[in-house]
Copies of this chain bind each other. A is one copy, B any other.
Amino acid sequence: MQVTRQDFGGGPEKPEPETVLETAAELPLSGTDEIEHPSSKVVRFGLDAALRLECKQDLAPYQIAYETYGELNAARSNAVLICHALTGDQYVASAQPVTGKPGWWTSMVGPGKPIDTNRFFVICSNILGGCMGSTGPASINPKTGKPYGLEFPVITIGDMVDAQARLIDHLGIETLFSVIGGSMGGMQVLEWAARYKDRVFTAVPLATAAWHSAQNIAFHEVGRQAVMADPEWAGGKYTEEGRTPRRGLSVARMAAHITYLSEEALQRKFGRNLQDRTTRTFSFDADFQVESYLRHQGSTFVDRFDPNSYLYITRSMDYFDMATQNGGVLANAFRGTKTRFCVVSFTSDWLYPTRESKEIVQALNAVAANVSFVEIESDKGHDAFLLEEPELFATMRGFLGSAAAKRGLLPAREG
């Protein structure tokens, strides 16, 4: 566990110096050890290093949990920040401690992979509001000694990015070679490029949008209502009461999961195939494979995710609207940018359709930014960015390779 005091590198927001509040052993335990004491590295910011949130509240203390892969070069110029999506975490390329499963993007990140950890120093942090070690609603509220629950402030994508920036400061990195992420990770990429213009050499927003659509807000609201409808949610105080809104969170995950796939992918994977039976049972059993699959997705999710975190993170996405935040003109967010952008969408992604990526590209073009755009043919829906997509891998290799050359990074590992 890395708990060190260090000067900030100094971003445009000139944050106050970080302090270590207390040692890990002194912190009371919450629902799981991963919340306060993650298996990954963690950096804590104390009362004198409060994070000013968009809701005008100051958050202090808080901590950010993160993983790193590869080595930072002597010039500190090869750092890549990967931003995870709604239910992701810092374990981008290493085993997730709760599930024991491989990292969520091992096809993309690792030695010799498109985001090559022999070449790049990869950082991935659990977002603020998450439940894998960064401060969120499941964390202990130092004022009460109990989990925050709904006392946690409603955070935004911008707040997540500001917290990440403190981590990057802490690591002594002035400029990130790249900020990369899909879905909500892509929203963070856009905020990074907008908020920290001088600190982002390249930005790769994948399968994302500059604002959350009405349909996406609607699906999130269904998920939140499903969680809150579960009496085990107990007004958000389930941990204190020794309960868990398993069924509500499971329903929320099931609904969301449908939106991550395309109709074609569901049809191809499951169609109307029956599950372990040859005929309809004329019952409410999971006759169809797609039912069984969804129920499994719901029930396994509950084992690894905090229900209140789900509420807060979906809310942050609903609130995301870089146009409104910039006087109604998205291009304003990027005015003066020198960052090189690579925007990627997938043809069958109906959660963040290509049209919404094009709006980002148009805004970047309007400020004469350096931007390339790729729409990748895929029938895998929104989840395509996480899956084996050779064209995505080729795009990433090509873009990062070319940018690395411009940045003067050597192909082989330095160090």
User: Which residues of A does B touch, CB under 8 Å?
Assistant: 54-55, 150, 153-154, 211-215, 217-219, 221-222, 224-226, 228-231, 247-248, 250-251, 254-255, 258, 263, 266-267, 269-272, 280, 282-284, 286-288, 290-291, 294-295, 298, 311, 315, 318-319, 321, 324, 350, 353
Q: A214-B266, A229-B251 are in contact. List 18 more A-B contacts (CB 8 A).
A: A154-B283, A218-B254, A218-B290, A218-B291, A218-B294, A219-B258, A221-B290, A222-B251, A222-B294, A224-B284, A225-B254, A226-B251, A228-B284, A229-B230, A229-B248, A229-B250, A251-B251, A280-B319
Main secondary structure, interface of A, reads helix
Report the separation of the CA atoms of residues A295 and B290 in the bound assembly, to the nearest whole angstrom. 27
Report the separation of the CA atoms of residues A217 and B221 in the bound assembly, to the nearest whole angstrom. 21
**Inter-chain contact A258/B291, CB cutoff 8 Å:** no
Kindly identify which residue among B55, B222, B295 contacts A254, using a CB–CB cutoff of 8 Å.
B222
List, in ascending order, chain B residues with CB within 8 A of A214's CB: 263, 266-267, 269-272, 288, 290
A333 to chain B, nearest CB (A): 16
**Inter-chain contact B251/A225, CB cutoff 8 Å:** yes
List, in ascending order, chain B residues with CB within 8 A of A250's CB: 225, 229
Report the separation of the CA atoms of residues A283 and B318 in the bound assembly, to the nearest whole angstrom. 12
Report the separation of the CA atoms of residues A287 and B316 in the bound assembly, to the nearest whole angstrom. 13
List, in ascending order, chain B residues with CB within 8 A of A221's CB: 254, 286, 288, 290-291, 294-295
Ranked nearest first, the 8 interchain pairs of A and B with the lowest CB-CB distance are A229-B247, A55-B282, A154-B282, A214-B266, A215-B263, A221-B291, A214-B270, A214-B290
A254 to chain B, nearest CB (A): 5
Report the separation of the CA atoms of residues A295 and B315 in the bound assembly, to the nearest whole angstrom. 16
Residue in B closest to A246 when the chains form the complex, CB atoms: B229
18 pairs, CB–CB < 8 Å, chain A vs chain B: A150-B284, A154-B283, A213-B266, A214-B263, A214-B271, A214-B290, A215-B263, A217-B272, A217-B290, A219-B255, A219-B258, A221-B286, A222-B254, A225-B254, A229-B229, A255-B255, A263-B353, A287-B318
List, in ascending order, chain B residues with CB within 8 A of A228's CB: 284
Residue in B closest to A266 when the chains form the complex, CB atoms: B214
A301 to chain B, nearest CB (A): 13
Report the separation of the CA atoms of residues A324 and B279 in the bound assembly, to the nearest whole angstrom. 11
**Inter-chain contact A258/B153, CB cutoff 8 Å:** no
